C-alpha cells in the first residue's frame, strides 16, 4: 500500500506501507478520501513542530469512507463518510477521566506522534469517527481545523456583548474567527500579512482588521474606545506575538493561546497581567462535541467553506506540492490532497 512518508525534515518519500491490521470489535477499516494540510504539517516538514517524530506518515485532517466495521460499531455503518477525530487518548489518565481527552497525558495525534492518513487505508476506533454524510469530501476534510476554533472560542467563554481579537489569520486563526463570529461577539483581526487581512475582510466579512506595526496597540485602542479586547485569541505560534498578546487585552480580559511554540514567552507581570487581572488559557485540539457541532453548522450552511480551499493536489503530487504550499509566498489558505 502506497504512503507518503516524511522521512526527516525537508524530505518526503513515497513508501510501501503495510496493509492495515484486521478490524477489532470497536474499530473500522477506512478508505482515506481527502487529507487537509495544515500548519502543523508544514511545521513537521520544516522541523519546527513540537511533539513531531520521524519518520512519519502525515495527515490528520481526514475525510474517510467506512469500508468495514467490527461488531461494536454502534452508529457507524459501511459506506458512511466520516470526519476523523485524530486525537488518540488513553482513556485512563486524570484528564481522560474528566472528559478532557483532547489533552490526555498520553495523547498521540495521527500524523504527528503516530502515522496518519496520507495512505490508502487505515484502521481506527469507531469512537473517533464522526458521520458527515451531508458534507462533501472537501468539507469533511475541513472539519478538524474548524473544530480547533470551536474549542478555542469555548475555552475563552466568549459572549455576544464582548469584543474578540484574533491574532493571526492563518487557517487556525480563520477557524477561531468563524466561531467568534458565530458567538455574536464583535471580532477584530490582527496580522502581519496584508493579503490575509484582505482575505478575512472580503471572504469572512470582517470590517475591523489591523496590520501589525509599531502602532497596532494604539489602533486597537481607538477601535474599542480605549477598552481593548475582552478575549484575545493568539493563533500565531510565534513566541513574540504570544508575549505581546497580553497588551491587547482589556482589564479583566482573557488571553487564549491556540498556537504553540517551543520558545519561551516573556511579559511584565505587575503592570499588565496583575494590574489588569488577566486570565491566561491554553487551548489544545478539540472535543467530540466540537466535531458534532461543526459538522451540523456546515450542513446547515451556517459555515461557508467555499473560501477556505485555495489549493488542491492529487496524492501522487503531494510530495512536490506540500513544500511549495509551505512557502510564505504561496498564499495558501487550505490545501487538500485527493486520494
Burial of 26 (0-12, 13-18, 19+ CB in 10 A): middle
Residues 14 and 121 in one domain: yes
Total domain count, the chain: 2
DSSP states of 41-67 as a string?
HHHHHHT--TT--SSB----EEEEEEE
Residues 332 and 320 in one domain: yes
The last residue of a domain, from among 236, 256, 282: 282
Taking only the tens of pLDDT, the chain with its 339 residues reads 999 999 999 999 999 999 999 999 999 999 999 999 998 899 999 998 878 889 999 999 999 999 999 999 899 999 999 999 999 999 999 999 999 999 999 999 999 999 999 999 999 999 999 999 999 999 999 999 999 999 999 999 999 999 999 999 999 999 999 999 999 999 999 999 999 999 999 999 999 999 999 899 999 999 999 999 999 999 998 999 999 999 999 999 999 999 988 889 999 898 999 999 999 999 999 999 999 999 999 999 999 999 999 999 999 999 999 999 999 888 899 999 999
Residue at 101 is within a domain: yes
Q: Can you tell me the distance from the alpha carbon of 170 to that of 175, in angstroms, rounded to the nearest whole number?
A: 9
DSSP states of 21-48 as a string?
PPP-TTEEEEEEEEEEE-HHHHHHHHT-
Residues 266 and 325 in one domain: no
C-alpha cell at 1: 500500500
C-alpha cell at 277: 487581572
Residues 134 and 17 in one domain: yes
Residue at 272 is within a domain: yes
Residues 181 and 211 in one domain: yes
Q: Can you tell me the distance from the alpha carbon of 136 to that of 176, in angstroms, rounded to the nearest whole number?
A: 22
Which CATH number characterizes residue 276's domain? 3.40.50.720
Residues in a beta bridge with 122: 30
Q: What are phi and psi of 235, to 5 degrees?
A: -120, 25
Residue at 206 is within a domain: yes
Residues 29 and 68 in one domain: yes
Check if the beta carbon of residue 30 is closer than 8 Å to that of residue 85.
no
Taking alpha carbons only, the member of 112, 118, 7 closest to residue 51 is 112
Q: Can you tell me the distance from the alpha carbon of 316 to that of 337, in angstroms, rounded to the nearest whole number?
A: 9
**Helix residue ranges per DSSP H, the chain:** 39-46, 94-97, 137-155, 171-182, 194-203, 216-223, 239-244, 288-299, 318-325
Q: Can you tell me the distance from the alpha carbon of 87 to that of 110, in angstroms, rounded to the nearest whole number?
A: 7
Residues 63 and 21 in one domain: yes
The last residue of a domain, from among 267, 282, 297: 282
C-alpha cell at 254: 482573557
Which CATH number characterizes residue 143's domain? 3.90.180.10
Residue at 152 is within a domain: no
Report helix, strand or coil for 177: helix
Q: At CA 26, angle to CA 142 and CA 107, rounded to 5?
A: 55
Residue at 38 is within a domain: yes
Residues 135 and 163 in one domain: no
Residues 239 and 163 in one domain: yes
C-alpha cell at 49: 513542530
Residues 113 and 204 in one domain: no
C-alpha cell at 315: 496524492
Residue at 229 is within a domain: yes
Q: At CA 286, angle to CA 283 and CA 288, rounded to 5?
A: 150
Residue at 191 is within a domain: yes
Per-residue model confidence (pLDDT) at position 28: 98
What's 16's DSSP letter?
A: E
Residues 173 and 278 in one domain: yes
Q: Give the 3-state secondary structure percentages of the chain, helix then strand then coil, rounded to 5.
A: 30, 30, 40
Residues in a beta bridge with 125: 27
What is the number of other CB atoms lying within 10 angstroms of the CB of residue 226?
9
**Host domain of residue 231:** 157-282
Check if the beta carbon of residue 116 is closer than 8 Å to that of residue 64.
no
Residue at 120 is within a domain: yes
Residues 33 and 133 in one domain: yes
Amino acid at each position: 500500500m502506497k504512503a507518503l512518508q516524511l522521512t526527516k525534515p525537508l524530505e518526503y518519500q513515497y513508501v510501501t506501507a503495510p496493509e492495515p491490521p484486521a478490524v477489532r470489535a470497536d474499530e473500522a477499516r477506512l478508505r482515506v478520501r481527502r487529507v487537509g494540510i495544515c500548519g502543523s504539517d508544514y511545521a513537521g516538514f520544516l522541523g519546527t513542530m513540537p511533539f513531531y517524530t520521524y519518520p512519519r506518515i502525515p495527515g490528520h485532517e481526514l475525510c474517510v469512507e467506512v469500508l468495514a466495521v467490527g461488531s461494536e460499531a454502534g452508529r457507524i455503518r459501511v459506506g458512511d463518510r466520516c470526519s476523523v477525530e485524530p486525537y488518540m487518548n488513553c482513556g485512563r489518565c486524570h484528564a481522560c477521566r474528566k472528559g478532557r481527552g483532547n489533552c490526555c497525558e498520553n495523547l498521540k495525534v495521527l500524523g504527528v506522534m503516530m502515522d496518519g492518513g496520507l495512505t490508502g487505508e487505515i484502521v481506527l476506533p469507531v469512537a473517533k469517527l464522526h458521520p458527515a454524510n451531508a458534507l462533501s469530501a472537501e468539507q469533511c476534510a475541513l472539519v478538524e481545523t474548524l473544530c480547533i476554533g470551536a474549542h478555542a472560542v469555548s475555552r475563552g467563554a466568549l459572549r455576544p456583548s464582548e469584543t474578540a481579537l484574533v491574532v493571526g489569520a492563518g487557517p487556525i486563526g480563520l477557524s477561531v474567527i468563524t466561531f467568534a463570529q458565530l458567538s455574536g461577539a464583535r471580532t477584530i483581526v490582527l496580522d502581519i500579512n496584508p493579503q490575509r487581512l484582505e482575505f478575512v475582510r472580503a471572504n469572512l466579512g470582517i470590517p475591523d482588521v489591523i496590520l501589525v506595526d509599531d502602532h497596532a496597540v494604539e489602533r486597537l485602542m481607538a477601535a474599542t474606545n480605549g477598552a481593548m479586547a475582552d478575549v484575545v485569541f493568539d493563533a500565531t505560534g510565534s513566541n513574540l506575538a504570544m508575549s505581546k498578546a497580553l497588551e491587547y487585552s482589556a482589564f479583566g480580559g482573557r488571553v487564549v493561546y491556540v498556537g504553540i511554540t517551543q520558545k519561551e514567552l516573556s511579559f511584565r507581570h505587575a503592570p499588565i497581567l496583575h494590574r489588569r487581572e488577566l486570565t491566561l488559557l491554553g487551548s489544545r485540539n478539540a472535543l467530540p462535541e466540537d466535531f458534532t457541532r461543526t459538522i451540523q453548522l456546515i450542513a446547515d450552511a451556517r459555515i461557508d467553506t467555499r473560501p477556505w480551499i485555495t489549493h488542491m493536489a492529487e496524492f501522487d503530487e503531494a510530495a512536490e506540492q506540500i513544500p511549495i504550499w509551505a512557502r510564505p509566498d504561496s498564499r495558501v489558505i487550505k490545501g487538500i490532497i485527493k486520494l
